[in-house]
Structure formats: structure tokens, C-alpha cells
Amino acid sequence: MIARLLSALLAAGCTAASAEPAPEADVLSIGGSVTEIVAALGQGHRLRARDSTSTWPPEVADLPDVGYMRALSPEGVLSVGPDLILSEDGAGPPEALDVIRAADVAFVTVPDAVTTDGILRKIEIVGAALGVPDRAAALSDAVATDLADAMADAARPDAQRKRVLFVLSTQGGRITASGTGTAADALIRMAGATNAVTEFEGYKQISDEAVGRAAPDVILMMDRGGDHGAADDELFAMPAIRLTPAAADRASVRLDGLLMLGFGPRTAEAVRRLNAALYDEGA
């Protein structure tokens, strides 16, 4: 099906390179942080559809959902008739993107970010694509100031920084955790804590022994339940975790996944909320 659709589009001479979004173009936003940026720029009224990771602001729930950003179908994406597609890097699968890019629709990729500068670059790219660079500049200034203030408030000496283990999944009784170079790692450090796992990059399944060596003071998880957010009784009964300092204190923190890992306009809020939860300073 994908191959036939791609052949038909190519035969018709439709290319993404020739497509230019019209003023006030209808937008399909793929990726939660991109959707947040569109809304923060005051352009939410232009959103025609969104992907399933786009859950903020709440009103986007009323928009058509084209599916999970890493499992898109060309038919689903193109059926909503966007003039402009704004997509976080990492959308896919690649063969689906080939078909989508071959259609007569402007397609802009927004790079991932785990730093302040990266967030500001995302805002700049989305603002330029939407034709509102002045609004993007103003939003960037506000986000940069707010995030700098939040990080300054969260800062503390190394000796006082709690060791935090971000657990992505407990599927099958095995811990998948964050190493370095991830959004979770970056947020933990911004919030005045230390990532308990630094032996590898990315998210990986780790052994019970590795969890013990990490000796986390706090377990950090997303709040969506299931394998991604086991309840405390289940979490602290796991052999990998039950002998850690976190288990001794039943110390766990759960935050909204998009707020924590999206690295969009609300990242300063994520820093403040995580810092408050870690150091008992109120949410």
C-alpha cells in the first residue's frame, strides 16, 4: 500500500520541496513539545490535527489524532488535509515519512532538545514555519528567563544532591532506566539532583546488581501507570529496588511524561515541580 501510494505521488510530480505553507496554514503537529510551542505562540487555532503524544494544552484532545508519532500511517496523516506538518525529529517509520514528504504538503522537522538552547531553537524553528518570528522571539526570551530562574533556585552543592533513578519501564519485572544524554538525565540535573546511572547513554534495561550499585535515593517515573509507572507497593517489592535507599524511605516521584521529557515551553515548571518533590519543598 505504501509503495503504491508513493509511486502515485511521485508520478504526479508532487514533492515536499515545492510545497510552501499558505498564510494561516492549517497545521498538523506531530510531537508533544511541538504542539505545546504552537499553542504557546498563540497559533493553536491553526491546528487541524495532532499525534497521540500531543496532550497539552488540554483542548488539543478535541483534535483528530493521527496516531503515535513513531508509528504513523501516510493515509492517516494525509487524510486530515494539513497545509503544513510540524514534526519532532524521530517520527516514523521512515517509509511512511517518505510518502508523506512526497505529498504536496510543507514538512518541517523540529530537532530534539535537552538543553535551554535546544528548547529556544525549537521555538525559533516553529515560529519561522508558522510565520510568527516576533512571537517566537518573545516566547524564547520568556522561556529562557523562566528556566534560568528555575535552575538557579534548584541549584545546590554536590554533597546535598539526591541520587535519582529514572525508571522508564518495569515490564516483565526488569528495570529499564535512563543513563546519560536523555531528557530524563537533563531534567534530573536541572532540578538540582544527580542521575544515579551514568555508565551508559540512553535508556537501557539494567541488571538488579546495577540498580544496587546505583543506590538511588529516589525513584522517578512517569505518572501514566502500567509498565511505565508501577504503584509503590509493586515498585519497592521488586528485587532490583527493595534494598536501595529509595525503598527504605519509599521515596518515589511521579510526574507527567510530557511535562518531564518534552523539553518545551513548560520545562521550567518541570524543574520546579521535580525539585520541590525531591526536597520536600511543596509542589
> Architecture of domain 2-148 in CATH?
3-Layer(aba) Sandwich (3.40)
Cell of 221: 517515573
Percent over 90 (pLDDT), the chain: 86
Residue 129 — pLDDT band, cuts 50, 70, 90? very high
Helix (H) or strand (E) holding 165: strand 163-169
Q: pLDDT tens, 78-121?
A: 999 999 999 999 999 999 999 999 998 999 999 999 999 999 99
Mean pLDDT of 164-190: 96
Q: Which CATH class is domain 158-278?
A: alpha beta
The pLDDT score that the predictor gives to residue 179 is 98
The pLDDT score that the predictor gives to residue 281 is 67
Closest CA to 98 of 125, 77, 83: 77
Burial 53-65 (b: 16+ CB within 10 A, else e): bbbbeeebeebee
The pLDDT score that the predictor gives to residue 226 is 57
The pLDDT score that the predictor gives to residue 45 is 97
The pLDDT score that the predictor gives to residue 104 is 87
The pLDDT score that the predictor gives to residue 5 is 42
Q: pLDDT tens, 197-248?
A: 999 999 999 999 999 999 999 999 999 765 566 889 999 999 999 999 999 9
Burial of 170 (0-12, 13-18, 19+ CB in 10 A): buried
The pLDDT score that the predictor gives to residue 24 is 77
Please state the domain extents for the chain: 2-148, 158-278
How far is Cα 43 from Cα 52, in angstroms, rounded to an integer?
19
Mean pLDDT of 143-160: 97
Residue in this structure with the C-alpha cell 538540582, named with its chain if needed: 192
Mean pLDDT of 4-19: 39
Mean pLDDT of 152-167: 97
Q: How distant, in Å, are the alpha carbons of 112, 176, 249 from that of 207?
A: 29, 9, 22
Mean pLDDT of 270-279: 98
User: Are 2-148 and 158-278 the same fold in CATH?
Assistant: yes
Q: pLDDT tens, 51-86?
A: 999 999 999 999 999 999 999 999 999 999 999 999
The pLDDT score that the predictor gives to residue 22 is 56
- The pTM for the full model equals 0.89
